[in-house]
Amino acid sequence: MSHHDVTDDESTHIFALKASTMLKKNKICAVLYLAFVGSVESKWLAYFDCPTSDDFSPQCLEIVTPPWPICLLKSSHEWVDKAIDSASRCCGDDLSECKCPKKDTGKFLDKLDEYCNGVATCSEDKKKLIAEKIEENFFAIDG
């Protein structure tokens, strides 16, 4: 047998060694790929999450943010402003100025108190936010 002749056992061993090496390299590549794709994917998918903001309480945002995908049409601040505006017409005893086409339905009226209480939370959050901005600007001008 010459040095180029390889037995079946040796051939199988060499194949197994090469396969094992490729598998280890591929595992590393797969892990790196998944880590990269996972981080990119999570950033990419974040564009499809409903907006949120630390400026408002979770109770506020839960009430004023519409379901996905409608929530993607505006920022949290815009949804809060829209809710505060509609609450000025739809919360209270007189609904004559309320623009909601379903304002006379039982389903609307059943959820109205919860909505109005949530928007009241948003109004308080908004007042605090405005007060903080005024204070920041005052000290920025004064300082």
Q: Are residues 34 and 68 in the same domain?
A: no
pLDDT tens digits for range 84-139? 999 999 999 999 999 999 999 999 999 999 999 999 999 999 999 999 999 888 77
The tally of domains found in the chain comes to: 2
Q: Are residues 73 and 40 in the same domain?
A: no
Q: Are residues 69 and 131 in the same domain?
A: yes
Residue 23, both tokens: 């598998």
Per the domain annotation, does 52 fall within a domain?
Answer: no
pLDDT greater than 60 at residue 3: no
Task: Place 6 in a pLDDT band, splitting at 50, 70 and 90.
Answer: low
Q: Are residues 41 and 62 in the same domain?
A: no
Q: Are residues 65 and 135 in the same domain?
A: yes
pLDDT greater than 70 at residue 32: no
Per the domain annotation, does 32 fall within a domain?
Answer: yes
Q: Are residues 62 and 16 in the same domain?
A: no
Q: Are residues 86 and 136 in the same domain?
A: yes
pLDDT of residue 131: 93
Q: Are residues 35 and 76 in the same domain?
A: no
Per the domain annotation, does 53 fall within a domain?
Answer: no
Domain encompassing residue 24 = 1-47
Q: Are residues 1 and 42 in the same domain?
A: yes
State which of 25, 47, 69 marks the end of a domain. 47
pLDDT tens digits for range 48-90? 899 999 999 999 999 999 999 999 999 999 999 999 999 999 9
pLDDT of residue 65: 97
Q: Are residues 75 and 43 in the same domain?
A: no
Per the domain annotation, does 4 fall within a domain?
Answer: yes
Instruction: With beta carbons less than 8 A apart as the criterion, state whether 80 and 56 touch.
Output: yes
